[in-house]
Amino acid sequence: MFNIIEKFLSIDGEGPTSGELATFIRFQGCNLRCSWCDTTYSWEKENTSEILSAEEIYKYIKENKVTNVTLTGGEPLIQKNIHELLELLNLDNKLKVHIETNGSVNIGPFKKKFIKNNISYIVDFKLLSSNMMDRMDLDNLNIVEMNDVYKFVVGGREDLQIAYEIICKYNLTSRCVVYLSPVSGNIEMQEIVEFMKDKNLNKVRLQVQLHKIIWDKNARGV
């Protein structure tokens, strides 16, 4: 059984299917406490809206008749028995599943177990401003593949420089899709673009969170 904070149908506000419809499943619980987290309501168990089995989650996903699925949180990969849900999703070739993971959990065992290409990992790299950079699992930088994403969550100039150094060191743009994602209110997107120009950051994408443009930035279930 899974503690669910919210489940809803909306557009994907970020990532490879940005702008497309997606079913969202937000799990309760996270092993990190990022300084700028915009989903702190997912941390505490008392904010759970319902408790669902893997089969009930899968049924809800199929009832929506939308092929994109985003598992988020909280942290999906620390959920007890998450393998049960991933088994169901991995067997359904009609679904495209994105797992938004916070970068502290090694994705290797999951990639070995669920080998079909309908599951992709959107891996965060929490930089210095998050106060959680030391919790990042660096092995993931060598594990990601071209259907995966590395998302560097940028809160300032120092974060940008660190992201740049990591992207270069691991030749990351040849391994996966790479995003620079600004922390809302902490850095202007223009500054990120100028940094990208200055560093000739080819194959790196600026990520704009569409859901925060369409709806109020604090709105839930959108």
pLDDT tens figures, 68-95: 999 999 899 999 999 999 999 999 999 9
Give residue 208's pLDDT band: very low, low, confident or very high (50, 70, 90): confident
Compute the C-alpha angle 208/212/216, nearest 5°. Answer: 165
- The fraction of the chain above a pLDDT of 90, given in percent, is 79
Give the span between the Cα atoms of 34 and 110, in whole angstroms.
24
Average pLDDT of the segment spanning 146-162: 96
Report pTM: 0.91
**Domain boundaries 2-214, CATH class:** alpha beta
pLDDT of residue 221: 67
**C-alpha distances in angstroms, 103 versus 24, 106, 122, 185, 194?**
19, 8, 9, 22, 26
For residue 184 the two structure tokens come to 């809302």
pLDDT of residue 200: 95
- The fraction of the chain above a pLDDT of 70, given in percent, is 95
Question: Which one, of 177, 183, 132, lies nearest residue 154 by Cα?
Answer: 183
What is the pairing mode between strands 68-72 and 21-27? parallel
pLDDT of residue 218: 65
Helix ranges, 42-187 (H): 54-63, 82-90, 108-113, 140-143, 157-169
pLDDT of residue 40: 87
Q: How far apart are the first and last CA of the chain?
A: 24
Helices (H) and strands (E) in the chain, counts: 7, 9
Domain boundaries along the sequence of the chain: 2-214
Give residue 212's pLDDT band: very low, low, confident or very high (50, 70, 90): low
14 class by beta-carbon count within 10 Å (0-12 exposed, 13-18 middle, 19+ buried): buried
- Would the pLDDT of 132 be above 80? yes
pLDDT of residue 222: 60
Give the span between the Cα atoms of 56 and 52, in whole angstroms.
6
Give residue 199's pLDDT band: very low, low, confident or very high (50, 70, 90): very high
